[in-house]
Amino acid sequence: MKIISWNVNGIRAVDKKGELENLLKTCDPGVLLIQETKAQEDKLGPIIKKYDIYEQFYNAAERPGYAGTGIWIKKSLHYNISFSTEFPGYKDTEGRVARIDLDDWTIFSIYFPNGGKSDEAWQEKLVFYEKFLFYVNKLRQEGRKVIWAGDVNCAHEEIDLARPKDNENSIGFLPEERAWVTKVIKNNWMDIFRYLYPKKIIYSWWHVITRARDRNIGWRIDYFFLEEGLMKTVKDIKYLNGQMGSDHCPVELEISI
């Protein structure tokens, strides 16, 4: 199965540019994990109709035009699909968690908070991090095979951004955030790309206003995670840097489910 995760920065905008259709035709994913849909489901009728080979599930933010996640899965795959937006112990009003269960597998599309708006937003980000890790750890303990992916809003190591020294005090590269990703890995969740390609430099997000993508001055903040014991199911993972339409590029995972 090919699973793609993409922060689209507005699903209607990226479709209007023709880039959503381009991705689907070029890569033909079985599952598409979407972050920052920025749309209520009642506004997505044309997209649902246009791409009707996919069963589409959405978790929208209460605030229109903000955040939101989604998961698409090809109807031809014939799985018994269960969709959920629950996040135990956390009141998610921003549509940050989308989950599907396929047999004994669970797949998440997650849009982690940025945390840069205020001290309160920063603390909320750290709470979200900890509660989500507790959640996926519990699912794993219950025997679920869990894949989680999305915009984590953190570059883990210096290799994961173009200018680490200049960003030591920047949201997205602060010690507390980086320490959480380290904790995730110590909890036996593998950053699949870095596990397979420990020294490869590649980015997934670029600042739009400074045209950073043209110069490849970017950050790798979009990930796929899987427990180490299931890494044998992974065929490959890659960042689709040539795919335009958003300030993020998609990440493509090939895996046997």
Annotated catalytic residues are 151
CA 145 to mean position of chain CA atoms: 17
Q: How far apart are CA 241 and CA 150, in angstroms?
A: 16
Phi, psi of 219 (to 5 degrees): -130, 145
Q: How far apart are CA 131 and CA 139, in angstroms?
A: 13
Q: How far apart are CA 84 and CA 59, in angstroms?
A: 9
Strands 105-111 and 97-102: antiparallel
Instruction: Identify the bridge partners of residue 251 per DSSP, sorted by sequence position.
Output: 5, 239
Q: Among all chains, which residue has been given the structure tokens 């001055």?
A: 217
Q: How far apart are CA 238 and CA 257, in angstroms?
A: 18
Structure tokens at 240: 């689709």
Q: Among all chains, which residue has been given the structure tokens 């590269």?
A: 173
Phi, psi of 180 (to 5 degrees): -65, -45
Dihedral (Cα; 227, 136, 34, 91), 10-degree rounding: -170
Among 226, 206, 229, smallest CA distance to 216 is for 206
| DSSP string over 4-22 | EEEE-SSHHHHHHTTHHHH
